Amino acid sequence: MRISNKYYTVIILVLLVSSQSFAADEGAHAAEFLSHGVGARAIGMGSAFVAIADDSTATYWNPAGLTNVKKNSFSAMYSDTFRSGDGSFFSKGLVNYNFVNYVHQIEDIGSIGLSWIRLGIDDIPRTTFIDIDNNGNLGDFQDINGNGVKDEGEPYIDRPTVADYFSNTDNALIISYARQMHSMIAVGGNVKLLSQSIFNNTGRGFGIDIGLILMPITSLRVGTMLLDATGTQIRWDTADKPVFTRGRRLRFGASYQFTFPSFGNGSIGIDFETDQADYEEGTDSGGIVFRTGAEYLLFNTLALRCGWNGQGFSAGSGLQLQVSNMTFFVDYAFNSHTLGGTQRISVSGQF
Give the end-to-end CA distance of the chain in Å, rounded to a whole number: 56
pLDDT of res. 311? 84
Residue 285, helix vs strand vs coil:
coil
Q: What is the DSSP letter of 154?
A: -
pLDDT of res. 10? 41
CA-angle at 215, arms to 35 and 212, nearest 5° = 40
Please give the helix or strand (H or E) that residue 246 lies within, else none: strand 243-246
Per the CB < 8 A criterion, the answer to whether 216 and 184 are in contact is yes
pLDDT of res. 255? 97
DSSP states of 18-85: HHHHT--TT-SSTTGGGGS---HHHHHTTT--TTT--STTHHHH-GGGGGG--S-EEEEEEEEEEE--
Give which of 22, 10, 20, 36 is closest to 337, Cα–Cα.
36
Mean pLDDT by 10 residues, the chain (351 residues): 41 39 49 89 96 96 94 90 50 76 94 94 75 78 82 81 78 97 94 89 92 94 95 85 87 94 91 68 65 94 94 93 90 79 89 90
Q: Alpha-carbon distance 105 to 127, whole Å? A: 50
Give which of 270, 341, 249 is closest to 45, Cα–Cα.
270
Domains of the chain, CATH where assigned? 5-350 (2.40.160.40)
Q: Alpha-carbon distance 318 to 345, whole Å? A: 10
Residue 345, helix vs strand vs coil:
strand
Give which of 303, 293, 299, 333 is closest to 316, Cα–Cα.
333
DSSP states of 81-144: EEE--SS-TTPPEEEEEEEEEEEEEETTTEEEEEEEEEEEEEEEEEEEEE-TT-SS-SS-B--T
pLDDT of res. 81? 64
Please give the helix or strand (H or E) that residue 276 lies within, else none: helix 276-281
**Which amino acid appears at position 341 of this protein?**
G
**How many C-beta neighbours within 10 Å does residue 339 have?**
14
pLDDT of res. 306? 97
CA dist list (Å): 40 to 106, 177, 345: 27, 23, 6
Q: HSE-up of 116 (CA within 13 Å, CB side)?
A: 7
Q: Alpha-carbon distance 101 to 114, whole Å? A: 6
Phi, psi of 249 (to 5 degrees): -140, 145
